[in-house]
Structure 1
Amino acid sequence: MLKQRVISALILVPLVVLSVLKLNTAGFALLTAFAVTLAAWEWGPLIPLNSVAMRVAYLVSTVVLLAAAWYVADSEIVVNAVLWLAMGWWLFALFWITQPVLGSTENLTHSVAKAVLGVGLMVSTWLALVVLHSRPDQGPHWVLYVLVLVWVADSGAFFAGRQWGRNKLAPRVSPGKTWEGVFGALVACSVFAFGYARFIDLRGAVLASFVLVCLVTVLFSIAGDLLESLLKRQHGVKDSGTLIPGHGGILDRIDSLLAAAPVFLFGLRWIEL
């Protein structure tokens, strides 16, 4: 399993970096739309949608909304509205993680709520990444930054949790995660964010605000991971899919990014950076 994870990472990471830096915004939007569509397909069983026809319909609905989002991606009013909605969704997700029994029974109300939540998270994440990529001030580098920020957080949490982890973060949702892992992620990302801020010559209050935005982004990225873990636990599955050897499905790889991308963009706009 570890060998498969390493091989997959060695292949995927360079491809992701090259795609972010070399594709124009339209090409990047198309590629990320494909990834989000695959993630929506994997979200289907977590709703749960038990028939192929229903999963296809859900996938088509997601594609239609992504296409609609592309046509309004240059509207500040629409983008800001989507970001505010995403913040609301993730605040609810934080509450949901503390109440894991909520939504555990399979009924129409819970299925509709999970379906709407899934589409909202997919579209808002895609839109945030596209808007970041289209920024005139080195947009692709901002996308790469938020990706690396999530990777640094994952690595910091893994090593700190493995070395010092004692106190469970959310034992009924993801027993392996600890508060020590959270602190490790925050420390690692504080160093990374400060270093990047100095690299792009941020100073004073702007630098402090930027680091704070990054730390809030990391906290929400952890919530994204926990949210997917909660849904998988409620429906008795270990991975969202099998597309990536050793890593599970697309959704297993972007669960943290589902929260990180819109929160990061929201934060940059909030501090007017």
Structure 2
Amino acid sequence: MTRTRLLAALVMAPVAIAAVLWLPTGWLMLPSAVVMLLALWEWLRLADVEDTLARSILLACNLALMVALVWGSRSHHTSALPLFQLVVVLGVLWWLLALLWLRHYDFAARHDGSARMLKLAAGTAAVVPAWCALALIHASQPNGHRWLLLALGLVWAADSGAYFTGRRFGGRWFGGRRLAPRISPNKTWEGVVGGVVAALLIALPGALLLGATPAQLPGILLVSAFTVLFSVVGDLLESLLKRHAGLKDSGDLIPGHGGMLDRLDSVLAALPVFALGKIWLGF
């Protein structure tokens, strides 16, 4: 890890944590929408939309969709957000379909109109449900802001656990099989296992500190495991798009880290899964 990368992380992490813990849900939705739309801006670049005006119009359409969801979910009970719940379910279904896309590397790889349209739709299906999930988790009672921090912590822990486990044990436990050699050659199954274990080590004490009962712990751990697995899907899908576009990073907005999408790819897939699991199991 370079010094620039470390310094950028030391600046971003406290800001993100402070925003999650201290901002009311309505106010948190504003900066989170900006961050998500910056990631979508980079996604549009990966979808071969090079024209700035076209990208601006598409971004405005997605912003309008976010505004429409807020307007349609107006209620005295902020935690209700019924349309947000529907969008989160659709988001999880989208990431299940993304698994099929990852199995077929050449699907939508051509730089033609149909491939571009598919990737544009995929961008909306990835970004808007993640934003809705963030709001749902944060607005939940009690301790929604802390549950959101735990959800993000799972992704961060999994990322670190996968990195160090993959470096130390990569290629030793699964006969040298790589996770997705054509998409991301450095990712290993050992790294996935290490990431899940690291996340569960965070999930267990975190859930107990947030007041989860012993009866709820198995469900929370199961949701946490699926959250991490889907975060891997999000990471791989962005890697696939970058390979199709012939790019190393989605952008250069964050020094040492690449683009905003490079930092959010895992989070985009993880948050809808965690939110749906939290609603379904009622923790």
Bin the TM-score by the shorter chain: over 0.9
Q: 2:183–2:239: 8 Å Cα contact kept in structure 1?
A: yes
Counting only pairs closer than 5 Å after superposition, residues 171-186 of structure 1 correspond to structure 2 as: 171-186=181-196
Measured in 1, the distance between the counterparts of 2:23 and 2:85 equals 25
1:206 correspondence with 2:216: yes
Measured in 1, the distance between the counterparts of 2:19 and 2:279 equals 25
Measured in 2, the distance between the counterparts of 1:80 and 1:154 equals 27
1:188 correspondence with 2:198: yes
1:246 correspondence with 2:256: yes
Counting only pairs closer than 5 Å after superposition, residues 130-141 of structure 1 correspond to structure 2 as: 130-141=135-146
Counting only pairs closer than 5 Å after superposition, residues 7-86 of structure 1 correspond to structure 2 as: 7-73=7-73, 77-86=82-91
- Structure 1: give runs of 5+ residues left out of the alignment: none
Counting only pairs closer than 5 Å after superposition, residues 205-244 of structure 1 correspond to structure 2 as: 205-244=215-254
Measured in 1, the distance between the counterparts of 2:248 and 2:122 equals 21
Counting only pairs closer than 5 Å after superposition, residues 68-147 of structure 1 correspond to structure 2 as: 68-73=68-73, 77-147=82-152
Deviations 1:1-38 (A, max 9, x none): 61111000011111111111111112101000110111
1:151 correspondence with 2:151: no
User: Which stretch of the first structure deviates more once superposed, 227-236 or 15-24?
Assistant: 15-24
Measured in 2, the distance between the counterparts of 1:121 and 1:40 equals 9
- Structure 2: give runs of 5+ residues left out of the alignment: 172-176
Q: 1:103–1:110: 8 Å Cα contact kept in structure 2?
A: yes
User: Which stretch of the first structure deviates more once superposed, 107-116 or 238-247?
Assistant: 107-116
Measured in 2, the distance between the counterparts of 1:18 and 1:272 equals 26
- Matched to 2:219, the amino acid is S
1:271 is matched with which residue: 259, 276, 281? 281
- Matched to 1:140, the amino acid is H
Deviations 1:232-269 (A, max 9, x none): 00010011110100001110000000011111000111
Q: Please provide the CA RMSD for this pair.
A: 1.4
Note closer, same or farther for the CA distance 1:261–1:72 as it changes in structure 2 (3 Å cut). farther
Measured in 1, the distance between the counterparts of 2:72 and 2:228 equals 28
May I ask how many residue pairs the two structures share in their alignment? 273
Measured in 2, the distance between the counterparts of 1:260 and 1:149 equals 9
Give, in angstroms, the shift of residue 204 of structure 1. Answer: 3.9
- Matched to 1:21, the amino acid is L
- Normalised by the size of structure 1, how large is the TM-score? 0.96
2:179 is matched with which residue: 163, 166, 169? 169
Q: Give the percent of matched residue pairs that are identical in Structure 1 and Structure 2.
A: 41
Q: 2:130–2:271: 8 Å Cα contact kept in structure 1?
A: yes
Measured in 1, the distance between the counterparts of 2:38 and 2:85 equals 26
Give, in angstroms, the shift of residue 153 of structure 1. Answer: 0.4
- Normalised by the size of structure 2, how large is the TM-score? 0.93
- Matched to 2:72, the amino acid is V
- Matched to 2:241, the amino acid is L
1:3 correspondence with 2:13: no
